[in-house]
Amino acid sequence: MPESPRRVDLRLTISPSAPWREIAVAVAVKFAEYAGAPSTTDVAQAVIAAVGSADGRRAIPLLLSAADGAVTVSVAPSTD
């Protein structure tokens, strides 16, 4: 996948139930590839940790940001 020439952000809100957690990991890995991250494994592990810390009752708002090949994964503040 071609590398993005600019900073990119992805906001992804997922259901806490299966299979959405696995789908979120797959989307995050594709995002990391697009952003030119040197390791998609690190991004996958960060998403797994982020969704694993959710309480399982509310949607999980993930925010992925990429700049210069570095991808940051965080859980965005909930709006509900």
| pTM listed for this prediction | 0.76
The mean predicted confidence, pLDDT, of the chain is 81
Do the beta carbons of residue 16 and residue 58 sit within 8 Å? yes
Whole-angstrom Cα distance, residue 6 to residue 69? 10
Q: How many residues are there in the chain? A: 80
**Residue carrying the six token digits 């259901």:** 15
Structure tokens at 40: 């998609």
Q: What is the pLDDT of residue 44?
A: 92
Enclosing H/E stretch for 72: strand 70-75
E-assigned strands of 6-69? 8-14, 60-67
Q: Which residues of the chain have pLDDT under 50?
A: 4
